[in-house]
Chain A
Amino acid sequence: MIDTEIKVTPQIAAEHGLSPDEYARTQKILGRDPNLTELGIFSVMWSEHCSYKSSRVHLKRLPTRGPHVVQGPGENAGVVDIGNGLVAVFKIESHNHPSFVEPFQGAATGVGGILRDIFTMGARPIAVLDSLRFGPISPGADAGNATTEEIARNRSILDGVVRGIAFYGNCFGVPTVGGEVMFEPCYSNNPLVNALALGIARKDELFFARAHGAGNPVIYVGAKTGRDGIHGASLLASAEFSEESQQKRPNVQVGDPFMEKLLLEACLEAMRTGAIVAIQDMGAAGLTSTSSEMASRGGAGIEIDLARVPQRETGMTPYEMMLSESQERMLLVAERGREREVFDVFHKWGLDAVEIGRVTEDGKLRVLNHGRVAAEIPAHALAEEGPRYERPIAAPKAAAAPGAPLIEFARERADLTENFRRLLASPAIASKYWVTEQYDSMVRTNTRVGPGQGDAAVVRLKESKRALALSTDGNGRWGFLSPRLGAMHAVAEAARNVACTGARPIAATNCLNFGNPEKPEVMWQFTEAIDGIAEACRALETPITGGNVSFYNETLGKPIYPTPVLGVLGLMEDADCALGSGFRNEGDLILLLDGANPESFRSADLQVGMFSSSEYAKAIHGIVAGTPPAIDLTAEKRLIDCLVKLAAERAILSAHDVSDGGLAVTLAESCFDSDGLSAEIDLGSHDEPAESALFGERGARAVVSVAAALLARATAIAAQYDIKVQQVGSVTRGEFRIQYKGTPVIRGTTDSFRQTWSESLGKAIEAAS
């Protein structure tokens, strides 16, 4: 237990992660020395995780406005107008550090936290996506120097994270409809767990976290407060890991999805009474952040008495209660005189609802304990006037992958079938069904395109004919080789994936996973990525409506790849136009759509450089080098517009973008997700090595299938958007065969390829258990 009576010294402030300058700032704001409780409050509110002190000056460069945007960054989640009086509320957030220390609870509470961000705004969650990154789970060229022990631990982290997500989302009753599972050696001791949630609300029934109306009661609802999660935000999320990090396990919160489900239903029902003025969930920094942020945003003050807070343990100090990150709790402000209506709803659901304080006019966060003042801090200064840093930025002196050999292309007429098979078996490319079948992806009966069925998840809206599509994407390896290009590709791929289902991308959310911001090279990666995201989001008309920054993703001084993960939301006018990625009928024609000019990528140097950054180079040759493909945002935009039009006109039957693993993998996946269909492909003859033609990755391309009778129609639409169309083959029931320069370069039965692709992930994970 922490003795709150002790006098705060600069050393105690330092132990709380406050720099001497930050400590001096607390003294200036208060006009005196903070007591220990106040120091604790400042330390969590000004932690990197809560204050964005290193990132805020850069985040301003992101585009946040657009025709659909109702609420941009700054609230619990972003809000966009989707017509018919409805809004979509969505946001992505990281839970990386807790998921390393305690994978199951870390991932579970990550999902719980993002769900609360959605329903605290009055929206019912209708979908979750999880973007996951782990270290290698099997030995191989792509495992880097990972040791056997590391590989075993990575498997167990993955298993715990997947079980944690399933535990929480399945019980809560929200479908987990998509996401990613990626592998790179840099995530070995620092997995990335980024959870995105989407909700739906009526536009005129949104709730915000702005306390107002002096005298209005402040009501605590939900789970009781315990000692779990104290300093989760400041000590776990805002510092690097060392060998002792496992000892931080007590800092991880514990999740109760059933409690969260009750809280969801009770909150939505209480909101319908009209008696609620403001509401915010208690996430990172618990009572501290909710009370000070609600007061600050509403230009008011809040006074609470901790003695009235429902408690799970006895003898908790004000310090512990203010810093607890116990889950499934909310703070709300009700209209004075209508408390009873609110209490009745929460009691119906068997939840605590207790008036713990009131809104004041003095602008202060005043924390009482049995009537005695335990802390008193100006709320606005605490929430909004924390430190802001323009951290030093320095581009690295050497290239990201210095001295790494570039790839050497295989000889002409090489039989690449075996390499293709190995690529299909690599964890990055292999089917993620082993993971996704552990998630309930269908509850709420809106899932039109679920996990593995299309390039993005599609959920229909029962309230209208429309549907929403969502995709999360990011390529850490490309971010490592070029932070700016990597970030642009993340935006473009997520938007392209959404467009492949037929939805028009309308907004984005981002989760920025980086190393230690106090290192100038990391800050350089960060600012480059921000500029890349900003440029791409402008070009593709997908403003950023919210998200989260996760710094200090380092273990033993080694940062992760700079990994911006983009979640793009799309809107579809007619849910019946939604497209999957799988081929539909034997005899349909297969077209390769290309927004760029293929000739511009055919110079030999360019091919070698680009190809060295590909999934194939990593998986087959263990090479991570070169530079990601150049990106042409106007080409991406034209392709997106074209795909949306093709779907709306019902001119095509499937669409799948060309990404990890290149064209060969794209074609194979469209077969795997069909009813036993295959493909016969001829890529023609070009002055390009076969490996590059088959496995090369660059943006602005998609494979679509079309009924022969609609070929002219589809081609005409493509021409309107200046998209090049190459008819590369047809859907068959025979062998899977790709021919290039007149020679079959890949051939085999689709079943054998499918078996390799579908079984390898489960085999790798369950190998040791």
Chain B
Amino acid sequence: MKFGVVQFPGSNCDDDAYYAIGSVIGQPVEFIWHQSEQVSGFDAIILPGGFAFGDYLRTGAIARFSPVMKAVSGFARSGGLVLGVCNGFQILLEAGLLPGAMLRNQRLRFLCRQVHVRVENTDTPFTCAARPGQILKMPIAHMEGNYFCDAATLAELERNKQIVFRYVHPDGRDAGPDDFDANPNGALHAIAGLCNRERNVVGLMPHPERAVESALGSADGLVILRSMVESLSRAENRIKSAPAAERIPA
């Protein structure tokens, strides 16, 4: 099992993702330079947060043209796990790997704070180790996290159960309209993260890689990384036709 962390020139959460995977959950991990034209040998790819190309035009608008994104698209089409965090989520939207777009935060300010999201769907390789409805505390840090899509797309997302994380109050209550305490950027239907129809590509605005040690505020992001490890080892074991996979100890 090998994780890859893509490095765009302006990625700045790449080291954090690398540390969370390599040092905290102890899985093999390597960086992938944005000019790489292939991503073979990796089992999961993370598009980390940051400002890939400065994001002066629109977040992720230039990054989607990087050679690596062609390879990542192919990787995703063949069923590989792709996790986009913050800027990585924005890039997945721009690249068309996930539907919808990001607007600027409703109050037009950058926001860095701990938020709470509810796991809306455990039927993905990124949430399979979570309890349905589990509340995760993770930080956000972005200017453009106000998710938007048209009504038809939203209906489809709901129908296919593609909404994976929703901003909620700490006790799990839904965010109301203009409820910036719970839904700080004003995202449509409080959507914090979603997956593609095939469920192997997930993007989310909160940073799981910043929530892997309780000493730094929260370790709730671990469940996302552990879900990935669990589903990958299950897949590996299937290939080896071995008995049912052991759960990765929490």
**A residues lining the B interface (CB < 8 Å):** 163, 166, 170-173, 256-259, 261-262, 265, 349-350, 436-448, 460, 462, 575-576
Q: Which residues of A contact B212 (CB under 8 A)?
A: 445
A177 shortest CB reach to chain B, Å: 11
**Highest count of chain B CB atoms <10 Å: which of A171, A438, A444:** A171
CA distance A677 to B51 in the complex (A): 39
A334 shortest CB reach to chain B, Å: 22
Q: Which residues of B contact A462 (CB under 8 A)?
A: 19, 23
**Interface presence of B215 (CB below 8 A):** yes
B137 shortest CB reach to chain A, Å: 13
- The contact of B9 among A256, A349, A445, by CB within 8 Å, is A349
- The contact of B54 among A171, A436, A439, A447, by CB within 8 Å, is A171
Please report which residues of chain B, range 143-201, place their CB below 8 angstroms from some CB of chain A when the two chains form the complex: 143
Q: Is the beta-carbon distance between A447 and B216 smaller than 8 angstroms?
A: yes
Q: List 22 A-B contacts (CB under 8 A).
A: A170-B110, A170-B141, A173-B12, A258-B9, A258-B54, A258-B55, A258-B56, A261-B9, A261-B10, A265-B9, A349-B9, A350-B9, A436-B112, A437-B112, A438-B112, A442-B139, A443-B13, A443-B210, A444-B15, A445-B19, A447-B216, A460-B215
Question: Contact flags (1/0) for B1-26 with A, using CB distance below 8 Å?
Answer: 00000000110110110011001000
**Interface presence of B111 (CB below 8 A):** yes
Question: Contact flags (1/0) for B188-232 with A, using CB distance below 8 Å?
Answer: 000000000000000000010110110111000000000000000
**Interface presence of B50 (CB below 8 A):** yes
Q: Which residues of A contact B50 (CB under 8 A)?
A: 173
**Interface presence of B53 (CB below 8 A):** yes
B184 shortest CB reach to chain A, Å: 9
Q: Which residues of A contact B12 (CB under 8 A)?
A: 171-173, 261, 443
**B residues lining the A interface (CB < 8 Å):** 9-10, 12-13, 15-16, 19-20, 23, 49-51, 53-56, 109-113, 139, 141, 143, 207, 209-210, 212-213, 215-217
Q: Is the beta-carbon distance between A440 and B16 smaller than 8 angstroms?
A: no
Q: Which residues of A contact B216 (CB under 8 A)?
A: 442, 445-448
CA distance A531 to B156 in the complex (A): 71
Q: Which residues of A contact B53 (CB under 8 A)?
A: 258
Q: Which residues of A contact B143 (CB under 8 A)?
A: 170
Q: Which residues of B contact A447 (CB under 8 A)?
A: 216
A129 shortest CB reach to chain B, Å: 15
CA distance A173 to B139 in the complex (A): 15
Q: What is the number of contacts between chain A and chain B, taking CB atoms within 8 Å?
A: 83
Q: Is the beta-carbon distance between A576 and B215 smaller than 8 angstroms?
A: yes
Task: Give the nearest-CB partner of B184 in chain A.
Answer: A437
Q: Which residues of B contact A436 (CB under 8 A)?
A: 112
Q: Which residues of A contact B213 (CB under 8 A)?
A: 445
Q: Is the beta-carbon distance between A438 and B109 smaller than 8 angstroms?
A: yes
B159 shortest CB reach to chain A, Å: 36
B47 shortest CB reach to chain A, Å: 15
Q: Which residues of B contact A163 (CB under 8 A)?
A: 109
CA distance A462 to B24 in the complex (A): 12
CA distance A73 to B185 in the complex (A): 44
Q: Which residues of A contact B141 (CB under 8 A)?
A: 170, 440, 442-443
Task: Give the nearest-CB partner of A124 in chain B.
Answer: B15
Q: Is the beta-carbon distance between A443 and B56 smaller than 8 angstroms?
A: no
CA distance A198 to B7 in the complex (A): 24
Query: A443-B12, A443-B141, A448-B216 are contacts. A437–B54 as well, Cβ < 8 Å?
Result: no
Task: Give the nearest-CB partner of A167 in chain B.
Answer: B110
B204 shortest CB reach to chain A, Å: 16
- The contact of B111 among A171, A172, A258, A438, by CB within 8 Å, is A438
Q: Is the beta-carbon distance between A448 and B215 smaller than 8 angstroms?
A: yes
Q: Is the beta-carbon distance between B113 and A258 smaller than 8 angstroms?
A: no
CA distance A438 to B10 in the complex (A): 19
With A170-B141, A265-B9 known, 20 other A-B pairs at CB within 8 A are A170-B51, A170-B110, A171-B12, A173-B12, A173-B50, A261-B9, A261-B10, A261-B51, A262-B9, A349-B9, A437-B112, A438-B110, A442-B207, A442-B216, A445-B19, A445-B209, A445-B213, A445-B216, A448-B215, A575-B215
CA distance A445 to B10 in the complex (A): 17
B85 shortest CB reach to chain A, Å: 12
A647 shortest CB reach to chain B, Å: 15
Q: Is the beta-carbon distance between B112 and A442 smaller than 8 angstroms?
A: yes
Task: Give the nearest-CB partner of A436 in chain B.
Answer: B112
**Highest count of chain A CB atoms <10 Å: which of B12, B19, B139, B216:** B12
Q: Which residues of B contact A172 (CB under 8 A)?
A: 12
CA distance A441 to B210 in the complex (A): 11
CA distance A460 to B23 in the complex (A): 15
- The contact of A258 among B16, B51, B209, by CB within 8 Å, is B51
Q: Which residues of A contact B209 (CB under 8 A)?
A: 445
Q: Which residues of A contact B55 (CB under 8 A)?
A: 171, 258
Task: Give the nearest-CB partner of B114 in chain A.
Answer: A442
CA distance A437 to B139 in the complex (A): 11
Q: Which residues of A contact B207 (CB under 8 A)?
A: 442
Q: Is the beta-carbon distance between A437 and B10 smaller than 8 angstroms?
A: no
CA distance A461 to B220 in the complex (A): 22
- The contact of A441 among B23, B51, B109, B112, by CB within 8 Å, is B112
Task: Give the nearest-CB partner of A351 in chain B.
Answer: B9
Q: Which residues of B contact A350 (CB under 8 A)?
A: 9
Query: A258-B10, A261-B51 are contacts. A440–B19 as well, Cβ < 8 Å?
Result: no
**Highest count of chain A CB atoms <10 Å: which of B56, B110, B141, B213:** B110
